[in-house]
């Protein structure tokens, strides 16, 4: 017969040690231990077995607990191990704010899928709230479908990722550039310099929504830039701004030893600078043809479309010696779909509806470093690393 000890009360140094001294003195054998502290309140669970006098042990524990100002509850357990909970998943919930109703709805959906919440870990409390729920049971597909519906109902972001070894492994993270790593669309900024912004913006919107062939639309938009001086391209490069949280995301991934790359349907005139300034490992983008200091309206070589992006992800992974299960892809437009599907984890960031529906996870919040929460990285660890390097 095993015994579950549940200890609750105010936490302080020495409580756990004192209680385990009592267990040791009575020859108890440990079968399981779990402990969590929430705002200085202790919850300690210990499963023990042994041939000692159970009544004597209980009396000794109760006496020691009283001295420590904590309470201990005793629950007899059967000798059998609990049945395995099936597959496990990390369910990441993000919101600004994150209301109790959202948690209630998520818990109901999980129960309907046959999944049970085993642990909840806070990842962030500002500028958004983020929690990691470790759940057992339920299939990946059904969990994603049910929780995606709840995310819409509660206006929160929810991601589901299998709890596998790959979550702890070194990874390759590849980002789209325009409207993902950087704010806005560079080609529209160039079009503003050329006086054709409205026309280019209209075609861009149709292409990103998947209504137009990307290569054909890109060549048509670039043709409108014919005659634009290189000095105008330099002005646009200086105007490009990273998405909030973008620099933190890349800096943290590099600290973790991850490889980071970008693939863009945009242009090397911008991505070359991004690669140098952020220390990116890989980059691929289109090259604008320049003759006599002016754009010709042509793109050199093969266009980086949705198929080429997926190829680049595989190529970068091979160069890093990583499996595709260890890859993460982040994008917002239809030309990112193949890349998101090929990746071990595909993340839609402030994406078009067609992309959100196809991705493994979707983020609608404006902070790119929220991606770190999907990888299980708490904000306090990021801040501690930044402070140490300051």
Catalytic positions are 176, 178
Rounded distance between C-alpha atoms, residue 248 and residue 288, angstroms: 30
Burial class (CB within 10 angstroms; exposed 0-12, middle 13-18, buried 19+) of 165: exposed
Question: Does residue 174 sit in helix, strand or coil?
Answer: strand
Sheet order of strands, 70-77 included? 29-38, 41-49, 2-10, 70-77
Rounded distance between C-alpha atoms, residue 102 and residue 46, angstroms: 31
Rounded distance between C-alpha atoms, residue 27 and residue 50, angstroms: 7
Number of helical H runs and strand E runs in the chain: 15, 15
Beta strands 282-291 and 259-267: pairing type?
A: parallel
Burial class (CB within 10 angstroms; exposed 0-12, middle 13-18, buried 19+) of 92: buried
Rounded distance between C-alpha atoms, residue 41 and residue 17, angstroms: 16
Question: Does residue 284 sit in helix, strand or coil?
Answer: strand
User: Which residue, among 346, 161, 173, 360, has the nearest Cα to 255 in the 3D structure?
Assistant: 173
């Amino acid at each position: 017969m095993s015994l579950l000890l549940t200890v609750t009360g105010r936490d302080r140094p020495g409580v756990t040690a004192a209680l385990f001294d009592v267990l040791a003195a009575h020859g108890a054998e440990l079968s399981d231990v779990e402990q969590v502290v929430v705002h200085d309140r202790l919850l300690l669970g210990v499963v023990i077995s042994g041939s000692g006098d159970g009544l004597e042990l209980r009396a000794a524990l109760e006496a020691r607990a009283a001295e420590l100002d904590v309470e201990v509850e005793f629950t007899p357990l059967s000798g059998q191990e609990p049945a395995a909970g099936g597959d496990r998943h990390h369910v990441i919930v993000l919101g600004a704010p994150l209301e109790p109703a959202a948690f209630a709805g998520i818990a109901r959906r999980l129960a309907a899928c046959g999944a049970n919440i085993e642990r909840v870990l806070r990842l962030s409390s500002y500028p958004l709230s983020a929690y990691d729920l470790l759940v057992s049971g339920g299939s990946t597909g059904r969990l994603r479908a049910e929780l995606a519906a709840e995310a819409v109902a509660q206006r929160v972001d929810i991601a589901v990722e299998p709890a596998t070894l790959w979550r702890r492994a070194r990874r390759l993270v590849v980002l789209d550039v325009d409207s993902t790593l950087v704010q806005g669309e560079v080609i529209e900024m160039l079009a503003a310099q050329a006086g054709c912004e409205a026309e280019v913006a209209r075609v861009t919107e149709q292409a990103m929504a998947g209504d137009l062939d990307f290569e054909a639309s890109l060549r048509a938009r670039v043709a409108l830039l014919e005659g634009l001086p290189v000095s105008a391209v330099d002005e646009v490069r200086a105007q490009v701004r990273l998405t909030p949280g973008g620099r933190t995301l890349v800096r943290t991934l590099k600290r973790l030893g991850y490889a980071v790359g970008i693939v863009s349907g945009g242009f090397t005139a911008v991505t070359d600078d991004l690669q140098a300034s952020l220390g990116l490992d890989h980059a691929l983008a289109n090259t604008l043809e320049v003759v006599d200091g002016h754009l010709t309206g042509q793109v050199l070589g093969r266009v980086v479309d949705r198929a080429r992006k997926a190829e680049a992800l595989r190529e970068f992974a091979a160069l890093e010696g990583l499996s595709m299960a260890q890859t993460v892809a982040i994008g917002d437009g239809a030309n990112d779909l193949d890349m998101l599907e090929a990746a071990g984890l595909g993340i839609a960031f402030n994406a078009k509806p067609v992309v959100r529906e196809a991705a493994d996870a979707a983020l609608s919040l404006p902070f790119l470093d929220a991606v770190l929460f999907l990888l299980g990285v708490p904000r306090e660890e990021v801040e501690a690393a930044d402070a140490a390097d300051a």
